[in-house]
Every structure is written in C-alpha cells, then in structure tokens.
Structure 1
Amino acid sequence: MPSRRSALTLLAGAGAALALGTPAAGARPAHTRPFGRYGSPSRRLDALTLYVDPLGRGDHTDVASAVEAASGTGHTLVLAPGTYRGPVLVTAARAELTVIGASGDPRDTVIVHDNAAGTPRPDGSGPYGTSGSATVTVQAAGFTARDVTFANDWLRSDNPEYTGTQAVAIKVQGDRSAFHGCRFLGHQDTLYADSLALTAFARQYYRDCYVEGDVDFVFGRATAVFDRCHFRTLDRTDLAAAPYGFVFAPSTAGANPRGYLVLRSRVTSTAPDAYYKLARPWVPSSDPTAHPMLTVRDSHLGAGIDAVTPYGTMSAGFPWQDQRFAEYRNTGPGARVTVPGNRPQLTASEARAHTPADWLGDWRPRA
C-alpha cells in the first residue's frame, strides 16, 4: 500500500482521499480541453480570469505564481486537473479571489505540500510551527473555492523523531470564505478554520465538503458552518489504545457568540468502533479567555465516535463541560445518549437559533 505522498505523486491529479488508489470517475485525458467550460487563455472569460495548468497550457504552471499575479480584487483562477505541489499564500490584498477546479471533481485537482510544525525552516530560524506548516493560507476576505483538494501529505511514520506533528492542509482566516465540494486531506490539524485576530469574527461556509484526519483535524476560532459535509476519522498504527483523536477542536473567542455549527453532515471512520471523540475545546495560551463553541445537529455520527464519552478536555482548568458544546437530533451509533450528562442537548426552542442564517448574518454564500 503506497503512502499518501507516493499515491498523490502517482495519481498526478487523479485525486486523493484515504481511498487513494481510485481515480476520479470520468477524468479527462491530458490532451483534451484542460479548462473545461471555463474557457482558456485564447478564449478568456474576462480580464480577471487566469488559467493554471502543470503542463503549460495556461497562464501559469503553479498555483502560487498565479495567486501572486492575481493582485487586486475579484480574480478567478481556473485550475486544470493536476497535482500542484508547494505552499500557497493568499494575502489580504487579494480579496474576492475564486479558485475553481476545472473538471468539477475535486479528486482531479490537488494542491499539496508536506511541511509539519516541526519541519526546520530552510533559513535556520527554527521550525515552521503549526500555522507555518499550512499548504495553503487564506488571509483575504471573500475567498471562494470549488471542486479543489487541499492536502498536507506529511506523515508521522516518515518522521518519528518529530514532536511537532501538526501538518495543516489549509488555514483559512478571511471573512466570508466559502468552500463548495472541496476536500481537505491530512492527519493532525488538517483544516484550520480561524480568523485574522481575536476580535475578528471571520465567517466561513463549507458545503458538500470532505475532511479527513485524526487529531483535532478541524480546529480554530472562526464562525464556521459545515453544511452537508463528510468527516472521516483515520485508523492509526502508532497507537495501541483509544482515543486516537478528536474531530473538532474549536477555540472560539469569548466575545464571539458563534463558533462551529455542523449540520446535515456525517462522521465516519476507518478506525475501530469508539476510538474517536467528537470534540475537545482548545483554549490556546494566546487567548486564555477563549470559550470554545460547537453545535452538531441533524447529523449522523458513525460507530467510530465514542458515544459514552464523546468529548474530552485538552488543557487542565478548561474542562469541556464549561464550554459551549451542544447537540440536537443527531442519529447513528455515535450519537446514542447513554450518559445524558455527557451529551448536552439543545431544546427545540434553542435549536431555532442555531442555523446558518444566524451564524452568517447578512452574508449569503453563492450556491
């Protein structure tokens, strides 16, 4: 069985999830139109559209240079199927940037790199740290991505000497960030849904997305809605006993009335039954006043979630029971209420205030 890194390289754009050997259904051969219905450099949709193709048929062969060229507001990057390796930074100056996977299948278009928190920086200034490990960092407001895979294929098994094993696929900090039909692949700290500052309540919307990982693989302080998403917890060979990890680790600022909202979603697992917790609160040293918030409602929790004790505590002094964790009308073996004190439930009246409209306010993400 190849590692994620070797499988990504071998597939070269046919995609990646944990089922890494399966190419995307209907993937186009390399000689056909690489940008599909989105035009081409010779038939550009508009002056703000740039085309990216690793085989040289676009304006750029890598995503980082295309982002650099997309200065100002309102650009669109159309990515031909392929694997794009290397870190990408979308600065705040590149507002309203849209990134589209041209084939319509996120398995075809993969942005990936392999830094971890403990990876030494080339300039000798120390390790990258968690934020620095991100394959993609989005600081701009109004960022939208469609049908793209964001991945970090750094592996613990390849680097047993590392203590900083966080490896972020994407760090999203901008307000009004939307992801439709995207995939986020990694192990620890896969999707960092965050904000630019403690006082910035960045709104984010994830629709029909797939996220996989093991330890705290959806984390941060954003006001984030996960709608009809699939969260997949991974098996681990480096641990002999449960828990293997946690799906969510919100770090919502105390002043923020809304943290993570998960609805109409599902959690599945490749690990043994009950080897994962649903969540634990993250109260970072940079914000000891954080009051993490997570609502999971109308979702299916598979057998991989420990139904008896679904929540854990990350730091002494900040028990999960003191945080804003709640559930409502969930189904599945991982949602079974066996110890009521361990499964805080919203009332029907309370649930009416836990909706995407309440979370996103005056922002309505484009479908």
Structure 2
Amino acid sequence: MTAAVGLAYGTVFGVFGQDARPEASAAGTATGTAAGTATGTASGTAAWTDDVADGFASVDALGQKGTYGGRDGRTVTVRTQADLEKYATAAEPYVIVVAGTITMNPKGKEIKVASDKTIVGSGTSGHIVGGGFFLGQGVHNVIIRNLTIRDSYHGTWNDKEHDWDAVQMDGAHHVWIDHNDLRHMADGLIDSRKDTTYVTVSWNRLSDNNKTFGIGWTENVTADLTIHHNWFHETEQRNPSTDNVAHAHLYNNYLQDVPGTDITTAYGNYARGGTRMVLENSYFQGLRNPVTKDTTAAVVQRGNVFSGTSGRNESGGTAFDPRAYYDYTLDRAADVPALLRSGAGPRAAIGTANALAAEATTLTVAKDGTGRYTSVQKAVDAVPAGNTARVVIAVKPGTYRETVKVPATKPHITIQGTGASRKDTVIVFGNAAGTPKPDGSGTYGTGGSATVAVEADDFQARNLTVSNDFDEARNQHLNGHQAVALRTAADRIVLDGVIVSGDQDTLLLDTASKDALGRVHMSNSYVIGNVDFIFGRATAVIDRSVITLKKRWNGTSAGYVTAPSTPAHRKGFLITRSTVNGDVSAGTFHLGRPWHAGGDATLDPQTTVRDTSLSAAVRTAPWTDMGGFSWKDDRFAEYRNTGPGSGPAGTDRPHLTDAQAAGQEPADWLGGWTPTAG
C-alpha cells in the first residue's frame, strides 16, 4: 500500500485499557454445534470444558480447590427438561450442554443442581424459560455459564408470592456464574443466600427486572464474593444489595439506567449490615443513589466513573485488599461500557463442540520448556501437511518474539492462548515493509512484514494477542513503514477474543488470489492502529469488537480505519455492533478509503459500518479518496450508528435504507458459512 506518515508504537496494548478480554478464562478451541444428535448423548470435549473460575471462586477453601465444575466427568448435550434435570441432579460430575430452548414445567421450577456440574449453553442457543436453578446447602463446584435464563415473570412487579429466581443459592460454595443473559424473572435474577460463599459472578447481562441480585439472608459475616464485568441495565433494585458479606469485591461493572423507560433504578451497589466492600473501576450511568452503605458497613471506592448520577454516593470505613486472596487485572473504567456492550452475555464460542473436537490433537507451546514446543512456529511445523482433523496449538502465557506462518497445506489449525487473559499470550515481532531481509535479498514488503501469516483454510485464533511493534520513530530512514501484525490469505478464518495491535496496516485481510474467496469472522476482539489498519480484499465481518484508534509516532492524530480492495463481485468489510474509539483528537479519523491495489480500476472497494458506536474522533465526512480513486465511485455506507462521531445522511455521508440494510447482515457476507462450525 502507498506509504503514509510513519507512526510510533508504544506499549503492546495501546490505549484500550489493561485487559479487554470479554471472558474470565480461555475460550473454547473447538467450535460448531454441540456434538451428539440424540438428546443426552455424550459429546466431544472442547477447551472450554477446562475453563476455571477467577476471583473468590478460584480460592482453595472448604476442601474445594477452586471452581472447575464438571470437567472431570462426561460432556452431555440436552434439549429437554427431563434430561437437564437428570444430569444436573446426578451424583457424578457432568458438563451439561444446553442446545436449544427448554421451557420449565411447571412455571417457576428451579432444578436442584448437585455438586461438580457445569451447565453451559451451546453458543447463544441455550435458553431456560420460566424457571432456573437452585443450589442447596453444601452444594459446591458448580459452573452456570453462557445461558439465557428468562421470563418467569408472573405479572406482579414487586412479586412477593413467587420466589422464582434464575439462580438461587442457599448455603452453597464455589460457584461461578459467567457470560449469562438473565432477565424478566418473577423474583431475583441471582439470589446468593444463607452463607453462600466463594462465588464469582462475571460477564453477565442482567436486565428487565425488579429485585436483581440479592446477597445475604444471614446474620453471619462470612461470605466472600467477586462480582466483575457485569452489565446491569433496566433493573430497579439489588444491583447488587450486599448484606453481611465479609469480602465483597466489585470491579469493572457497568450500571446503567436508560432514561425514558418504564424502569427506574432505585439504587446501585448497596453495602448493608457488616459488609466490607471494595468497589473499583466501575461505570455508573444515569443512576440515582449509585453507591449506598449502612453506617455499619464499609465501602472503599477507587477509580469509578459516575456519569449523570444523583443522590447517595457513599464510601467509608476499612475494607480489605483483594490481592491478598487472588490476582486480577482491572480495565479502565472509561472503557467498561463499550467492553461490556460487546462482551457480556452468551458467546458463540462457549459451549460448542463437534466431532472433530473429540479427535483433536493438542500441541502445547511454552517458553519455559514445560510444553512440547518452545515456539509457536515449531508447533505449526509439526502439523502434518494435508491434515483433515483440527489441531489445537495451546500456547501457554508468555511473550513469543517470533514470526509465525501457517502454510496453505495445513488447514484446521487453532492457535489458542491458555492464560486467564488474552493479554497473557503475546506473539510479537517488529518487521516493516522496508525492513531489509537478513539474507540481503531485499525488503519484506507489506505482506511479508506480518508477525503471523495465515495461508491455510479453516484457521482459528483465540485468546491471544498478535502484535507488530515496529518502532517508526527510530526507523524514519526506512522506506516503507507498513507493519502488519496479522495477515490472513485463506477462507473460513475465525478470530475470537483476540487483540491485533500495531500502527499502520495492522490487520491484512487478504485472499489466496484475486479470484479466490476469503471469508473472515472476527468477534469479541480488539484491532488497534492508525493508518489503513484494517485492509485487503477479503470478505470480512467484524462483530461485537472494539476498533481502537492510536496517535501517530509523533503524537499527532490522523488516520484511516479501513482500506478495502474488494473485487467488484464480492463483499468487502462489514463492521457491525462494535465500537470505534481511542485516545485521539476529535474529527481526525476517516472510517475508510478505497484501495485500488496496483491502480486496478476494476476493483469495487466496500466498507459498511452499521449499528456501531462512533467516538468523536470520526470525521463528519467519514470517507475519503485514495490514489486518485474517488470513494464515491465505490461502496461505502453507514447504517444506524450512534455516538458523537455518527451523523445524518448526506452527500458526504451515505446511509443505507432499511431495505438495503436487510441485505447487509453478517449472513449475507458469509455466504452459507457458519463461523461457529469448526
């Protein structure tokens, strides 16, 4: 691509916060519909079955070493209430995959879950309607994950007759409630009662409810709970209400009261009785009484953001140091709304497995020698050419300074970070287009500068960071500052829960040839850069992700998000349900410009940005020309965007009509391919 102004590279993680991974532990390596066509049959295992809790649920106590659910047992798939109840109440451990909608009969039924269970929705398809789960005295080591639990509401808003909760716990311990969508129940969404302890509640959406999340119903001050990365919206009370909790650690939650709706929040986080609460880096928007405490309770606040709030906002007393119990990483409070809008709730990559998963080969990589290989490339080299089953390269936490190439002869490879955060596993190198090759045969060129280059179909990357840390400030003498972090030149590429970081030309979404199809689906991820940093001729969907704008090497703000080079008969880039933001000046970034590679006038570049939040950094005329080609002759449009960088339709800002938008959905882009099918 035509060289633009050089850019400086700062830290690997840029400006988007310390940890953006929308998940508490590793995402699954195997994807697709849940295995086992008959109800209740065993299914192939996947990496998400090995996921474990963080926070207080990870603490060794009461004879339980952390919370890992049913991973030591069989994985079964259920589609009926009878089978769900059969396995959930069994004495032996199970991973129970809910693959479809189960409507409880009678309404309000709460299945009594036994110890050592994982109950997980298959992608976004697992729904429990009109009921929920009950964990009684002594029940322990339970994971409830990736489910939508909804609609036991019985017509009375402050319902005192029907104790119908999504999840009720009475005297349980070591419970992880993660990535669920909980809404519209007759009573609580979550009730943690009667000394229930060692609980972590993470990455959930809680909405459309009165008594949302209550903790207590005890005179004892013994319970320990971690509540992080949850999105509370359209919830009236108990957000949560925390009564007599010895250690309540709340961080990176988003509490939102949407104006003009039927539900008005009465209060946000409430510390009652003898509670000791640490409240960190959360975001409160539009709430009355965002933080309330009794005179007997202690609340230590730090790093929170309060936007449009009113009424009580209280702190005081001495609480505790959460790091004395477990390690954790805070996101910036300012990043929390965008992070949770895109990352909270059920995810397509959790709870899915297929026949390949049971046969999958796993190759481990660790810099310290504890794995089978010490570099990612060595593991790729070990995969036999022409492999027909998926091979998972499980990369332990660490920084791997190397370049990686996955050749076209090795499809079905997954590179998966195994750390608790996608920030923990980093593949990084610093080549640029103008960097001389060591053998003296010239320079790398743009495509050759990639830290990771993927030329094989059916590739997947999960839970890791791919970065190019080329230092432009120190290399102004080089001709060619394009520095690719990740290059894909193949079909059916899945990028889930990753960070792709660089400056100019960060993410090259290419195809094997001009006439070849190259489809890419990126979700729950971050792309960071400043000049043409999403570019190429692939057909790509970027969904529920954050596009982070960086300043250039000299501290100035200016750049271009996309530079598609789409063939005339293909789809280009679709950015949907995402966020465009960054620590840059207002009105300095274009959403895109047309890249007619090599001056090819037959190309018809395309970028559509829809249903996305745009920061003030986006120009009021968001598209611009490139290389003598007018963007108006190609395909650039918006639809239903929001935020200060959005704007009305005009000659310099085309919007799709509703009819046009109906034909520009992810399914239209992917042409019959379902990204969750491994």
TM-score, with length taken from structure 2: 0.48
Q: What does residue 610 of structure 2 align with?
A: 297
SS class of match (1:219):
strand
Q: How do 1:99-110 and structure 2 match up within 5 A?
A: 99-110=415-426
- Counterpart among 499, 505, 512 of residue 196 in structure 1: 512
- Counterpart among 582, 585, 598 of residue 285 in structure 1: 598
SS class of match (2:495):
strand
**Cα-to-partner distance string for 1:29-79 (whole Å, 9 max, x where unaligned):** xxxxxx9938xxxx9x86621001111111101101011101223211111
Contact 2:463 2:497 in 1 (8 A): yes
- For residues 163 and 362 of structure 1, do their structure 2 counterparts lie closer, same or farther at Cα, with a shift above 3 Å needed? same
Distance 1:205 1:22 in 2: 22
- Counterpart among 564, 567, 578 of residue 253 in structure 1: 567
- For residues 312 and 70 of structure 1, do their structure 2 counterparts lie closer, same or farther at Cα, with a shift above 3 Å needed? same
More strand by share: 2
Q: What does residue 581 of structure 2 align with?
A: 268
Q: Percent identity?
A: 41
SS class of match (1:67):
helix
Q: How do 1:1-367 and structure 2 match up within 5 A?
A: 16-18=13-15, 37=50, 48-71=361-384, 72-73=387-388, 74-238=390-554, 244-256=558-570, 258-285=571-598, 287-307=600-620, 309-316=621-628, 318-337=629-648, 340-366=650-676
- For residues 196 and 27 of structure 1, do their structure 2 counterparts lie closer, same or farther at Cα, with a shift above 3 Å needed? closer
**Cα-to-partner distance string for 1:4-39 (whole Å, 9 max, x where unaligned):** 57x55xxxxxxx3436877989899xxxxxx9938x
Distance 1:186 1:270 in 2: 15
SS class of match (2:446):
helix
Shift in Å at residue 160 of structure 1?
Answer: 1.3
Distance 1:77 1:275 in 2: 40
- For residues 19 and 323 of structure 1, do their structure 2 counterparts lie closer, same or farther at Cα, with a shift above 3 Å needed? closer
- For residues 264 and 285 of structure 1, do their structure 2 counterparts lie closer, same or farther at Cα, with a shift above 3 Å needed? same
SS class of match (2:400):
strand
**Cα-to-partner distance string for 1:80-133 (whole Å, 9 max, x where unaligned):** 111111111001111111111112421011111000000001111111000110
SS class of match (1:358):
helix
- For residues 55 and 27 of structure 1, do their structure 2 counterparts lie closer, same or farther at Cα, with a shift above 3 Å needed? farther
Shift in Å at residue 163 of structure 1?
Answer: 2.3
Q: What amino acid is aligned across from residue 224 of structure 1 in structure 2? A: A
- For residues 322 and 332 of structure 1, do their structure 2 counterparts lie closer, same or farther at Cα, with a shift above 3 Å needed? same
Distance 2:518 2:639 in 1: 24
Q: What amino acid is aligned across from residue 623 of structure 2 in structure 1? A: Y
**Cα-to-partner distance string for 1:245-271 (whole Å, 9 max, x where unaligned):** 100111101222x11111101100211
Contact 1:37 1:102 in 2 (8 A): no
Q: Could you tell which deviates more after superposition, 294-303 or 95-104?
A: 95-104
Distance 1:80 1:104 in 2: 10
Q: What amino acid is aligned across from residue 278 of structure 1 in structure 2? A: L
Q: How many residues align?
A: 341
SS class of match (1:350):
helix
Contact 1:27 1:108 in 2 (8 A): no
Q: What does residue 11 of structure 1 align with?
A: none
Contact 1:182 1:210 in 2 (8 A): yes
Shift in Å at residue 365 of structure 1?
Answer: 1.1
Shift in Å at residue 289 of structure 1?
Answer: 1.5
Q: What does residue 32 of structure 1 align with?
A: none
Contact 2:524 2:545 in 1 (8 A): yes
Gaps of 5+ in 1: 9-15, 29-34
TM-score, with length taken from structure 1: 0.87
Contact 1:146 1:179 in 2 (8 A): yes
Superposed CA RMSD in Å reads: 2.5
Q: What does residue 276 of structure 2 align with?
A: none
- For residues 104 and 93 of structure 1, do their structure 2 counterparts lie closer, same or farther at Cα, with a shift above 3 Å needed? farther
Gaps of 5+ in 2: 1-7, 27-47, 52-71, 73-357
Distance 1:199 1:208 in 2: 29
Contact 1:36 1:103 in 2 (8 A): no
Contact 2:397 2:419 in 1 (8 A): yes
Contact 1:76 1:100 in 2 (8 A): yes
Contact 2:9 2:553 in 1 (8 A): no
Contact 2:519 2:670 in 1 (8 A): yes
